[in-house]
């Protein structure tokens, strides 16, 4: 999903195809064979870049997963013709004659009404199952976010699903946020139906790779050499019904670390489960915003970099530098870290103070974050620090 970008000679961002090729080559050489993409990923460039990189390898060395991404507000794409056009363009961009794993994307957002409009009323679901029967789709499934009624409905249908993609990590196991459902329930229902699970958000948008010092110290006591990210990946891969675990890797070092975490997989032990429960309790007390930086909320019509603002705030939380009041002993240091880091990571014209509260973004957030409310809170906190107001 998160392929690396570069700036071209015109000053415009584009996919760094050479870097993508290097990542894919290294991954395949070290046993990775499942590549997940979608028409809407990386500004619409992901499928093309993925196709170019994988075309250089024998077809039996990789599996491609892509999606029917009609969850955006584009009525033309929700017609039968528009949806089939998206499906066929995916094959063209990926340069394949069949798709190994095809998903109904972001099922649950918008509830049953949205699901029916996207897949039932227009006859698209019947079409996709016929494509599976014809062999152009080898495995058909769906990715789930949102209202659990839709998840339950799809599992109860007469159709046999080959796999389902769910959000699973040691926070979401029992403490899913917003309208998401606890992973314990989701995985349990899939296991009842003998449906394999593909895991997304094993790091919860990177949060589980950036633990606060008290949380990280608990894990380091047990495995001093292991990173926080490795713990999270091992957790996500431990259930026997998991088919594979996804990770958006932009940097080679991240790919290499993830491969080490599964070479081979060392399942989480009972003692380690207890340690992760303690870490979860610490993290649940943090003032963290549950943003996974998926960018479904973007672009903002008023230019706010929503994931960038939340990302900076969350990094401060993870580093243990969130000021509770102006009398904190590290006030000056933490104040400077927040303000200077904010301006470096998010341009001034794209910061929280430019949010007008239109809430156009809100329905698109898989984590059900009240985005405009959080923007106001961050903006107030920023102004308090700028003016050195007592709080």
Domain contains 35: yes
User: Which residue shows structure tokens 């007008």?
Assistant: 356
How large is the average pLDDT for residues 91-110?
A: 96
Higher-confidence residue of 336 and 74: namely: 336
User: Which residue shows structure tokens 């949102």?
Assistant: 146
Q: Which of 348, 323, 345, 343 has its CA nearest to residue 333?
A: 323
Q: Do both 253 and 377 map to the same domain? A: no
Dihedral sign, Cα of residue 143, residue 362, residue 86, residue 90: negative
Tokens at residue 359, please? 């809430």
Q: Do both 229 and 326 map to the same domain? A: no
Asked whether the beta carbons of 377 and 384 are under 8 A apart, the reply is: no
Q: Do both 21 and 150 map to the same domain? A: yes
Domain contains 291: no
Max avg pLDDT among 4-8, 187-191, 372-376: 187-191
Tokens at residue 328, please? 């904190």
Q: Do both 262 and 349 map to the same domain? A: no
Q: Do both 210 and 81 map to the same domain? A: yes
Q: Do both 29 and 151 map to the same domain? A: yes
How large is the average pLDDT for residues 29-41?
A: 97
Q: What is the DSSP letter of 308?
A: H
Q: What is the pLDDT of residues 163-172, one digit of tens each?
A: 999 999 999 9
CA distances from 377 to 163, 361, 362, 384 (A): 40, 17, 16, 11
Q: Which residues pair with 303 in a beta bridge?
A: none
> CA 21 to CA 48: how far, in whole Å?
12
Q: What is the pLDDT of residues 37-56, one digit of tens each?
A: 999 999 899 999 999 999 99
Residues of the domain holding 311: 306-387
Asked whether the beta carbons of 148 and 172 are under 8 A apart, the reply is: no
Q: What is the mean pLDDT of the chain?
A: 93
User: Which residue shows structure tokens 């170019």?
Assistant: 52
Question: What whole-number percentage of the chain has pLDDT above 70?
Answer: 97
Q: What is the pLDDT of residues 216-250, one digit of tens each?
A: 999 999 999 999 999 999 999 999 999 999 998 89
Residue 322: partners with Cβ closer than 8 Å, 6 or more residues away: 286, 287, 316, 334
Provide the b/e sequence for 99-137 (b: ≥16 CB within 10 Å): bbbbbbbbbbbbeeebbeebbeebebbeebeebbeeebb
Q: For residue 261, give the CATH number of its domain.
A: 3.20.20.100
Q: Tell me phi and psi for residue 225, to 5 degrees.
A: -90, -5
> CA 337 to CA 316: how far, in whole Å?
8
Domain boundary pick from 252, 284, 316 = 284
Q: Which of 193, 85, 68, 46 has its CA nearest to residue 143?
A: 68
Q: Do both 361 and 223 map to the same domain? A: no
Could you give the angle at the alpha carbon of 40 between the alpha carbons of 34 and 46, nearest 5°? 50
Asked whether the beta carbons of 104 and 67 are under 8 A apart, the reply is: yes
């Amino acid at each position: 999903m998160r392929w690396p970008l570069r700036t071209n000679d015109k000053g415009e961002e584009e996919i760094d195809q050479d870097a993508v090729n290097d990542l894919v080559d290294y991954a395949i050489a070290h046993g990775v064979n499942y590549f997940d993409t979608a028409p809407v990923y990386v500004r619409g460039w992901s499928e093309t870049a993925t196709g170019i990189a994988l075309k250089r390898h024998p077809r039996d060395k990789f599996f491609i997963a892509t999606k029917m991404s009609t969850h955006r507000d584009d009525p033309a794409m929700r017609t039968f013709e528009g949806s089939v056009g998206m499906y066929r363009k995916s094959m063209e961009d990926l340069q394949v004659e069949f798709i190994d794993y095809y998903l109904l994307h972001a099922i649950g957002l918008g509830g049953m009404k949205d699901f029916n409009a996207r897949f039932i009323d227009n006859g698209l679901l019947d079409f996709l199952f016929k494509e599976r029967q014809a062999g152009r789709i080898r495995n058909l499934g769906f990715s789930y976010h949102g209202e659990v009624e839709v998840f339950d409905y799809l599992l109860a249908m007469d159709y046999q699903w080959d796999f389902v993609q769910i959000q699973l990590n040691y926070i979401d196991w029992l403490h899913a946020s917003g309208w998401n459902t606890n992973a314990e329930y989701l995985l349990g229902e899939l296991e009842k139906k003998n449906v394999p699970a593909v895991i997304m958000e094993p790091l919860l948008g990177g949060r589980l790779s950036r633990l606060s010092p008290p949380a990280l110290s608990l894990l380091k006591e047990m495995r001093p050499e292991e990173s926080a990210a490795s713990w999270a990946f091992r957790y996500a891969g431990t259930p026997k019904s998991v088919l594979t675990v996804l990770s958006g890797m932009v940097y080679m070092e991240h790919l290499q670390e993830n491969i080490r975490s599964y070479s081979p997989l060392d399942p989480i032990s009972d003692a380690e489960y207890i340690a992760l429960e303690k870490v979860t309790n610490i993290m649940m007390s943090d003032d963290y915003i549950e943003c996974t930086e998926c960018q479904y909320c973007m672009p903002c019509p008023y230019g706010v970099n929503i994931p960038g603002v939340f990302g900076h705030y969350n990094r401060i939380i993870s580093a243990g530098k969130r000021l509770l009041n102006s009398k904190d002993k590290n006030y000056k240091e933490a104040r400077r870290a927040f303000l200077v880091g904010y301006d470096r990571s998010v341009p001034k014209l794209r910061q929280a103070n430019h949010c007008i509260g239109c809430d156009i973004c809100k329905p698109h957030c898989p984590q059900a974050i009240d985005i405009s409310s959080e923007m106001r809170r961050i903006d107030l906190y920023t102004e308090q620090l700028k003016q050195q107001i007592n709080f």
